[in-house]
A and B are shown apart, each in its own frame.
Chain A
Amino acid sequence: QVQLVQSGAEVKKPGASVKVSCKASGYTFTNYYMHWVRQAPGQGLEWMGIINPSGGSTTYAQKFQGRVTMTRDTSTSTVYMELSSLRSEDTAVYYCARESSMTTIITFFDYWGQGTLVTVSS
């Protein structure tokens, strides 16, 4: 069965960086795009970007350009999201989410990781 397992909670100081991992299993890793979505406490869902695990190409939301880097390791079927220059507003739960298809027009997030809480506090 498809599983996305994320790394554990992190506490960081302002200005630091955090790197969250998402290990995929139960499917062919390179056949599905992976996205990162975050949710601040009590707030809605915010899309951060997408990575193609096959070639490693990425597209980021404008808001995070210059601060976010998404990478992948095909040998371990793991994607990573690194966010730098952290500030208190980055305190949120970060989710990885698999996109349902690379080849159809209509797509959706069919599997999600369990979420990783990142707390930014001095």
Chain B
Amino acid sequence: DIQMTQSPSSLSAFVGDRVTITCRASQSISSSLNWYQQKPGKAPKLLIYAASSLQRGVPSRFSGSGSGTDFTLTISSLQPEDFATYYCQQSYSRPPITFGQGTRLEI
């Protein structure tokens, strides 16, 4: 199984900050890496797919990069609605599909 490790597990930031979350795969997954945002009591929402493609309707302050084993999600200028938990997910090798453990972004 491919293990996905996110860092940090939690992060405190302010509105307007630039924030970067990292996801590392235990083996190469090419660009088969997706990012989701989850708010309390809600289903996850797709932000970025294929490592760097912005899902329709997602604000351009979100961006993704990386390939192989190392990936990043960047929020260029934090907005109040961005405080949530973020998960990476690999779709390169399955089963199983695996997620990172999550990064909680808080004020």
Given A35-B97, A108-B49, A108-B89, do A114 and B34 touch, yes or no (CB 8 Å)? no
> Which of A9-17, A70-78, A80-88, A99-107 lies at the interface?
A99-107
Q: Do residues B102 and A106 form an inter-chain contact, with CB atoms below 8 A?
A: no
CA distance A28 to B102 in the complex (A): 32
Q: Do residues B98 and A106 form an inter-chain contact, with CB atoms below 8 A?
A: no
Query: Which of under 10, 10 to 19, 20 to 34, or 35 or more describes the interface residues of A?
Result: 20 to 34
> A109 contacts which of B32, B46, B95 (Cβ < 8 Å)?
B46
Q: Which residues of B lie under 8 Å from residue A115 when comparing CB positions?
A: 43
Give the residue among A45, A110, A113 with the most B Cβ atoms within 10 A. Answer: A45
Sample 24 A-B pairs with CB under 8 A, ordered by A number. A44-B87, A45-B44, A45-B87, A45-B102, A47-B95, A47-B96, A47-B98, A49-B95, A50-B95, A59-B94, A60-B95, A61-B95, A61-B96, A95-B43, A97-B44, A105-B32, A106-B91, A108-B49, A109-B34, A110-B46, A112-B43, A112-B45, A113-B43, A115-B43
B positions within 8 Å CB-CB of A:
31-32, 34, 36, 43-46, 49-50, 55, 87, 89, 91, 94-102
If A47-B98, A108-B46 are given as contacts, then 14 extra A-B residue pairs at C-beta distance below 8 Å, sorted by A number, are A44-B99, A44-B101, A45-B44, A45-B99, A59-B95, A61-B96, A97-B43, A105-B32, A106-B32, A106-B50, A108-B34, A108-B49, A108-B91, A112-B43
